[in-house]
Structure 1
Amino acid sequence: MSNQTISLTDALHQYLLDASLRESDVLKALREETATLSTANMQIAPEQGQFMALLVHLCGARNIIEVGVYTGYSSLAMALALPENGRLLACDVSEEYTNIAQRYWSEAGVSSKIDLHLAPAIETLQTLRKDGAAGRFDMAFIDADKAGYDAYYEHCLALLRQGGLIAVDNVLWGGSVIDPDKQDEDTLAIRAFNQKLLTDQRVDISLVPIGDGLTLARKR
């Protein structure tokens, strides 16, 4: 028993992967290609992808919003967990990175489940709300520019059904959230966002120490 979350050494983290990771060949190939990019630190950890796929199953999700696609690992993990009639609306602004994503979505046979919107996510979310989509989504994943987290969260919360789930990435921000010397815009935005959720009575929350920190917020 332990009254504090265990720290993971490199060896223990490897054991975690060896003992639990069920990564498909296509997910592994995408992760390995992404690892060759200079921006590879934007890639979520494989164990987080598997955790998010489990959340899709647990939520019985059929309609998902993703804010921030990058090369598509999280999109792919969630789309593979969706039922055949499930849909994932993916928001990003990078044609370069999402071209990689689309290759792997196609290879995995889930392209028909994913609707990619290449536009500022805030515009896509605003349009969804104007078009009457409030309450129609089961789950949302936010992993984009940190200064936009609060706005993305508010729009996603409105678009989610009661009992729907929002997952928000990078909420520990490499430990910068507790470093008083870190006063850059991204760190300040994440601190403010975390503090907001702590007292947001519209949701039930849990900050899970997986990857770079993942907050789960269930809409009441």
Structure 2
Amino acid sequence: MENIKDPSIYRNPVILQSEDLTKYILETAVYPREPAPLKELREATNNHPWGFIATLPEAGQLMTLLLKLLNPKKTIEVGVFTGYSLLLTALNIPHDGKITAIDINRKTYEVGLPVIKKAGVEHKIDFIESPALPILDKLLEDPANEGSFDFAFIDADKENYVNYHERLIKLVKIGGLLVYDNTLWGGRVCWPEDKVPPHARSGRDAAIEFNKTITNDSRVEFALTSVGDGLNICRRVA
């Protein structure tokens, strides 16, 4: 260490979300281990006009590890789109595992459905075409559903994240995980407000509110990570 004249040069040497670093992560760690069905679905999604909103594969790789560690049998997903995260979950839960998948648009789900069927995991999925809040409220009408889910993944309208959380925290068991995507909103959560494009302000403000809510929620332990577009990983403890 005696040869280091200025240690400050080692502080923040790169921007964590830089394109070059993301490319390195994908090519070094993610794509070589990505299962063939996920690759096929990702490539199909890339052809969709809104393909850029799909779960990013580097976030998917972390989710895969979490699922393998947790070994859940009953999961719930709010926001499905073409089904990359849904297929990922289905591939990593037991044969008799079940996923309640909620999305307002079945047409986008059907983009990935042929791949899901080909992978042999469609039987694990109960797809419900509906806004999520009425379905979550209906699930909570039955006391048997409280604390019955092992894992939840949320990638839907950011403005409702706080509302989703208040319901899902009751549905997921103590010790279970709730994973929220896009909680850094392209890095805009730390931008000055006047620098945020008008079309991105609502989502950015919602992400900031949600992250603060989680920080103050004693019912969870959590990690706000910069993987993908930001995963807020919560473990219910109360």
TM-score (norm 1): 0.93
Deviation at 1:118, TM superposition (A): 0.6
1:47 partner letter: E
- Contact 2:44–2:112 at 8 Å: present in 1 too? no
Deviation at 1:45, TM superposition (A): 1.4
2:24 partner letter: Y
Deviation at 1:16, TM superposition (A): 2.0
Give the counterpart of 1:13 among 9, 16, 22. Answer: 22
Give the counterpart of 2:224 among 190, 207, 211. Answer: 207
Q: Is residue 177 of structure 2 the alignment partner of residue 170 of structure 1?
A: no
- CA deviations over 1:37-82 (Å, ceiling 9, x no partner): 2111111111211211211111121111100000000000111000
Q: Is residue 88 of structure 2 the alignment partner of residue 60 of structure 1?
A: no
Q: Is residue 46 of structure 2 the alignment partner of residue 35 of structure 1?
A: yes
Deviation at 1:4, TM superposition (A): 6.0
1:176–1:15 CA distance, 2 compared to 1 (3 A): closer
Give RMSD over aligned pairs: 1.7
Give the counterpart of 1:155 among 149, 167, 174. Answer: 167
| Residue aligning to 1:114 | 125
1:4–1:113 CA distance, 2 compared to 1 (3 A): farther
CA distance in 1, matches of 2:172, 2:12: 32
Find the residue that maps to 2:229 and give its secondary structure: coil
| Residue aligning to 2:37 | 26
2:146 partner letter: A
1:65-84 equivalences under 5 Å are 65-84=76-95
1:84–1:3 CA distance, 2 compared to 1 (3 A): farther
Deviation at 1:114, TM superposition (A): 0.7
Give the counterpart of 1:187 among 178, 196, 204. Answer: 204
Find the residue that maps to 1:166 and give its secondary structure: strand
Deviation at 1:5, TM superposition (A): 9.4
Find the residue that maps to 1:15 and give its secondary structure: helix
1:4–1:155 CA distance, 2 compared to 1 (3 A): farther
1:88 partner letter: I
Runs of 4+ in 1 over 4 A off after TM superposition: 2-6
After superposing the two structures, state which structure 1 stretch, 186-195 or 135-144, moved more. Answer: 186-195
What is the percent sequence identity of the aligned residues?
38
Aligned length: 219
After superposing the two structures, state which structure 1 stretch, 51-60 or 138-147, moved more. Answer: 51-60
CA distance in 2, matches of 1:84, 1:15: 34
1:67–1:4 CA distance, 2 compared to 1 (3 A): farther
The runs of 5 or more residues in structure 2 that have no matched partner are 1-9
CA distance in 2, matches of 1:15, 1:185: 31
Deviation at 1:3, TM superposition (A): 7.3
- CA deviations over 1:16-42 (Å, ceiling 9, x no partner): 223322112211111111111211111
| Residue aligning to 2:99 | 88
2:219 partner letter: R
- Contact 1:54–1:81 at 8 Å: present in 2 too? no
CA distance in 2, matches of 1:15, 1:188: 30
